[in-house]
């Protein structure tokens, strides 16, 4: 897919504007589901797309771990928090990043949730090596 094709698709979408509140809500729900499913699948979560939808609604799936359920629920909560942050017009602060991290790890790794890692990590099967652990210098401390 190239930029010209994307421009054509965008123009087609723009022809339907303004979208009704029901369509906007439906698109938002679908975006949250797709984003959550794919983000968690990358990390090894075995919930299917349909199971992710059900888990995000608070229903447990037989044969799946509590961790997998928490990953889906937590990712949804993190998205909602980012949406909330986007309405304030304020700059992103270090405490916001830490809270997002805490939301994602809630009931999964409470000991490390919201904290900087204190050891280096390796991504299994990847050529990319994360930078060594060090304190960020680009955040305001509040």
CATH number at residue 104: 1.10.3290.10
Does residue 6 lie within any of the structural domains? no
Per-residue pLDDT band at 137 (split at 50, 70, 90): low
Does residue 4 lie within any of the structural domains? no
Does residue 3 lie within any of the structural domains? no
Average pLDDT over every residue of 40-49: 96
Q: Is the pLDDT of residue 128 over 90?
A: no
Number of separate domains in the chain: 1
Per-residue pLDDT tens digits for 107-117: 999 998 998 87
Per-residue pLDDT tens digits for 26-36: 999 999 999 99
Does residue 134 lie within any of the structural domains? yes
Among 36, 79, 39, residue whose Cα is nearest residue 54:
36
- Say which residues have a Cβ less than 8 Å from residue 115's Cβ, sequence separation at least 6: 98, 101
- Is the CB of residue 73 less than 8 Å from the CB of residue 93? no
Tell me the pTM.
Answer: 0.78
Q: Which domain holds residue 51?
A: 20-142
Does residue 69 lie within any of the structural domains? yes
Average pLDDT over every residue of 136-142: 50
């Amino acid at each position: 897919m190239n930029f010209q094709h994307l421009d054509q698709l965008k123009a087609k979408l723009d022809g339907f504007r303004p979208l009704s509140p029901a369509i906007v809500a439906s698109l938002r729900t679908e975006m949250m589901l797709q984003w959550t499913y794919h983000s968690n699948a990358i990390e090894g979560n075995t919930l299917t797309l349909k199971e992710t939808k059900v888990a995000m609604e608070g229903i447990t799936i037989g044969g799946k771990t509590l961790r997998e359920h928490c990953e889906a629920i937590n990712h949804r909560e993190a998205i909602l928090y980012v949406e909330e942050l986007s309405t304030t017009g304020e700059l992103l602060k270090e405490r916001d990043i830490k809270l997002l991290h805490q939301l994602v790890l809630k009931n999964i790794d409470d000991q490390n949730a919201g904290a900087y890692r204190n050891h280096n990590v390796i991504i299994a099967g990847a050529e990319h090596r994360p930078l060594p652990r060090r304190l960020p210098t680009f955040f305001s401390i509040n």
